[in-house]
């Protein structure tokens, strides 16, 4: 934990800029609805405070949201994140698939949240990127950073999938990565290995968690 915090302090991003980046990215990567539309002016002001590359990366996503009709935006979001497992927002899925090991990894998120008194108001699994980013931005930056770094390979695989698809959401994940320590050769190898092998396909229950149904479209 101390190594992670030390690396973050050496990174040329202030704690406020990191928190703003995580909060804006969490909102932009969540399902688009009227709440997001109402927040767009506030998000634009927040993004304008950020240095590059985060300002440009998040600004590009904001541009996409602002110019896209709400219904089209929602349909595109579902197609990108709910119907394609290769770009799902659950960080543990990339390494563990729907296996018993994933259940153990999910408990790590829940434990971190409970220690900090964080009770997510959502039906998403605790490893959902928006939940982790909200936690890091508003509750416990240190513990949130630890979760993001521990599951950095999943974050980078999500980034690669969005990049390959030419998704406008790529910038939001790029901005989050820019707030974390630089990638090491060892981590790059782990990402390449996971990308080549894919997640395990052992289908099991994730008690006490209910697995997300990626094939069910949102209302």
What is the CATH architecture assignment of 3-197? Answer: Orthogonal Bundle (1.10)
Q: What is the pTM of this model?
A: 0.85
* Res. 212: pLDDT tops 50: no
Q: With pLDDT > 70 as the criterion, what percentage of the chain qualifies?
A: 86
Higher pLDDT, 143 or 199: 143
**Whether the Cβ atoms of residue 202 and residue 209 lie closer than 8 Å to each other:** no
> Burial level of 41, CB count in 10 A (0-12/13-18/19+)?
exposed
* Res. 216: pLDDT tops 70: no
The rounded distance, in Å, linking the Cα atoms of 65 and 70 is 8
pLDDT at 3 (0 to 100): 56
Q: At what angle are helices 34-48 and 54-67 packed, to 10 degrees?
A: 150
Q: Is 39 helix (H, G, I), strand (E, B) or coil?
A: helix
Q: pLDDT tens-digit profile of 41-94? A: 999 999 999 999 999 999 999 999 999 999 999 999 999 999 988 899 999 999
Contacts made by residues 205-213, CB under 8 angstroms, sequence distance 24+: 206/98, 206/102, 206/103, 206/106, 206/125, 207/103, 209/103, 209/106, 209/125, 209/126, 210/125, 211/98, 211/125, 212/88, 212/90, 212/124, 212/125
pLDDT at 139 (0 to 100): 97
pLDDT at 11 (0 to 100): 59
How much is the mean pLDDT over the chain? 87
Residue 215 CB neighbours (<10 A): 8
28: left (phi over 0), alpha (psi -120 to 50) or beta: alpha
Where along the chain do its domains lie?
A: 3-197
117: left (phi over 0), alpha (psi -120 to 50) or beta: left
């Amino acid at each position: 934990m101390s190594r992670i915090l030390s690396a973050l302090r050496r990174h040329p991003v202030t704690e406020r800029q990191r928190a703003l980046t995580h909060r804006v990215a969490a909102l932009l990567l969540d399902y688009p609805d009227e709440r997001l539309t109402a927040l767009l002016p506030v998000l634009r002001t927040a993004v304008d405070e950020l240095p590059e590359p985060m300002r440009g990366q998040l600004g590009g996503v904001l541009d996409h949201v602002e110019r896209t009709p709400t219904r089209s935006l929602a349909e595109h979001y579902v197609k990108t994140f709910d119907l394609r497992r290769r770009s799902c927002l659950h960080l543990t899925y990339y390494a563990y698939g729907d296996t018993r090991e994933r259940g153990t990894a999910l408990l790590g998120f829940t434990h971190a949240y409970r220690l900090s008194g964080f009770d997510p108001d959502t039906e998403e699994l605790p490893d959902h990127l928006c939940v982790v980013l909200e936690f890091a931005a508003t509750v416990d930056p240190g513990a949130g950073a630890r979760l993001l770094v521990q599951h950095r390979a999943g974050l980078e695989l999500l980034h690669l999938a969005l990049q390959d698809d030419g998704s406008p959401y790529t910038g939001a994940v790029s901005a989050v990565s820019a707030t974390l320590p630089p990638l090491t050769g060892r981590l790059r190898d782990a990402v390449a290995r996971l990308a080549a092998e894919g997640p395990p396909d052992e289908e099991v229950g994730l008690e006490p968690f209910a697995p997300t149904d990626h094939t069910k479209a949102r209302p």
